[in-house]
Amino acid sequence: MSEKPGFDVVVLGGGAGGLFAASGAAALGAKTCMIEKNKLGGDCTWYGCMPSKALLKSAHALALVKRLKDFGISSGDTRYDTGKAMSHVRDIINKVSTHHPAEVFEKRGIRVIFGNPKFIDNKTIEVNGERISAKRFIIATGSHPVVPPIPGLKEVDFLTNETVFDLNTLPKSMIVLGGGPIGVELSQAFSRLGVEVSIVEMLGRILFREDFETADVLTNVIKRDGIKIFTGKKAVKFRKENGQVIVTLEDKDKNISEIKAEKVLVAVGRAPNVQGLDLEKAGVEHEKTGIKVNEFLQTSQANIFACGDVVGPYLFSHIAAYQAALAVRNSLLPLLRQKVNYESVPWATFTDPELAHLGLTEEEAREKYEVRDLKIYRSYLKETDRAVTDMEEDGLAKVICDKKGYILGAHIVGANAGEIIHEYVIAKAERLTIGKLSSTIHIYPTLAQVVKKTADQYLLEKLGSPLLKNIAKFLMKFVK
């Protein structure tokens, strides 16, 4: 075996975290190598964020066209052909993938290698028959779909987010296992494109990590779209019959029922990509949920760091990029190292309407704080002028604060919620009270007025206090 010259940093993985880590290390002047076993861009580009959003956009466009009469526009032809939707999605994937070819990173001085790396020890890896040494490693190998060991599942040609976008034609019907963000997003997209969709979720409700009130709004919308939802039921058996997949469901009382569809999409979660890395040889500790790291994203080996889905606890591209920046900083600039901070982590489910999440839900806040120490403010889109003019009245903004007005959690369900949530994110991250958002000028008419309206409630509450009223009365005596 030949031996490559040593590097300052070797990054394992070319997804969201790996691309950012390699670019950051090279920018700091480190001799950098990036190793990717498949294609640059990672899950988000090829199987996740980009293709699902492209499909959702197609579905949203069709849903909007079907509502032309609501906007005072008549249409004579109401026939729609969705046969090219999947090829459109693949076109988008190919377009986005051109944003980060290997040549771009090579020009930055980053050595790019495609292959399956394996650790020899904590300072050496082997890839494509070559040994590569480095002072430091950053592991950013991502995750893959979990496939539960349910009898018969492997015999029914099931789909995951890694294979569903390879479909050339849309099935007539589909069963989606899992009521989390991936399952719900794809369910709504396929349903609006004409597929009969059923969601199976073993817990008591879909989107169980979301605030119950905002999730309930979205649940009602997707039911209105015609999606069937089976909660509190577990898939226990699969079989194929007359070209249909039959799924046996079992509830908590062991009652049995069956549903059927042409295709099954498995979206029950993701698992870290640690297989084949020979982490044991490097002395890197890991478990089922991923590689163990400390608050500086350092593994059990001082020179090896990890970030992204392989670490968790949040499996989002924006968290992978955030962690990657810290991994680079902490590995190359130890005197300036910084701890991870998950106090203000936002995310969004990109359905129609969107569902955005920040911090504690109401349920979580009530478990953690006394009721008297909490303040909850709501503003409904149906009371926001821009939402009314756009006919996007489903939804609300909900903010959970402590008694001093500091934001503990914020949740928005509605059009562009994923964009609007960032006002709350900044306020929470910078330790601003919600009253600061009220005193900030917001453009009218915009959907962001929903943020100001929640903040106005806090301010009006303060202005209405007996103390301030008495002060105001005293001061007004001096007004001529």
User: Residue 81 CB: number of other CB atoms within 10 A?
Assistant: 7
What percent of the chain stands above pLDDT 70?
A: 96
CA 92 to chain centre: 19
In this prediction, residue 1 carries a pLDDT of 44
For 170-227, what is each residue's pLDDT tens digit?
999 999 999 999 999 999 999 999 999 999 999 999 999 999 999 999 999 999 999 9
**Quick one: which of 348, 349, 330 has its CA closest to 339?**
330
Mean pLDDT of 445-451: 96
User: Which of 317-326, 362-371, 426-435, 464-473 bottoms out in mean pLDDT, i.e. has the lowest?
Assistant: 464-473
For 35-47, what is each residue's pLDDT tens digit?
999 999 988 888 8
- Residue 474 in this model has a pLDDT that exceeds 70: no
Cβ atoms of 194 and 170 closer than 8 Å: yes
Q: What is the mean pLDDT of the chain?
A: 94
In this prediction, residue 461 carries a pLDDT of 84
**Quick one: which of 16, 165, 15 has its CA closest to 91?**
165
Domain at 153-269: CATH code: 3.50.50.60
For 6-16, what is each residue's pLDDT tens digit?
899 999 999 99
Mean pLDDT of 117-146: 97
Taking the alpha carbons at both ends of the chain, their separation in whole angstroms is 93
User: Which of 34-43, 76-85, 412-421, 458-467 bottoms out in mean pLDDT, i.e. has the lowest?
Assistant: 458-467
The yes/no answer on whether domain 346-466 falls in CATH 3.30.390.30 is yes
> pTM here?
0.93
In this prediction, residue 402 carries a pLDDT of 96
Residue spans of alpha helices (H) in 245-295: 279-282
464 band by pLDDT with thresholds 50, 70 and 90: low
Domain range list for the chain: 3-41+100-145+271-336, 153-269, 346-466
- Fold agreement (153-269, 346-466): no
2 band by pLDDT with thresholds 50, 70 and 90: very low
- Residue 293 in this model has a pLDDT that exceeds 70: yes
CA 324 to chain centre: 17
For 389-405, what is each residue's pLDDT tens digit?
999 999 999 999 999 99
- In 91-243, beta strands by DSSP E: 111-114, 118-121, 124-127, 130-139, 143-145, 173-177, 196-201, 228-231, 233-241
Q: Could you say which of 3.30.70.2080, 3.50.50.60, 1.20.120.550, 3.40.50.1010 is the CATH number of the domain covering 3-41+100-145+271-336?
A: 3.50.50.60
